[in-house]
Amino acid sequence: MITVSLTPEKLVGTDVAHAFLLVGAAALAHLFVLNDVDVALAGNLLVGSIPGVLIGSRLTVWVPRRPLQAGLAVLLLTTALSLLR
């Protein structure tokens, strides 16, 4: 069994913050290397991640730890499966 040492609040916050960095880096790479970036889409993703961090980390206080972990696991697995298609 895999254990995570982060609290659910930190896990949700760091997950969305990581996505913020990933989208920013990918948008910059597309802009400078390929000269092909959808600025509106990248901007929406970046702006949407800020409330995601704030709201998600506050909601985790009310959600029990096990269901939150199960929900995150299902979300990650479905995302991974959709990328493999």
Q: pLDDT of 28-41, one tens digit each?
A: 888 888 888 788 88
> Sign of torsion, CA 10 53 73 64?
positive
pLDDT band at 8 (very low <50, low <70, confident <90, very high): low
Phi-psi region of 2 (alpha: psi -120 to 50; beta: other; left: phi over 0): beta
Crossing angle of helices 8-29 and 65-84, in 10° steps, is: 30
Whole-prediction pTM value? 0.49
Could you tell me which of 74, 71, 76, 27 has the C-alpha nearest to residue 47? 27
Cβ–Cβ under 8 Å, residues 10 and 68 = no
**Hey, where are the domains in the chain?**
9-84
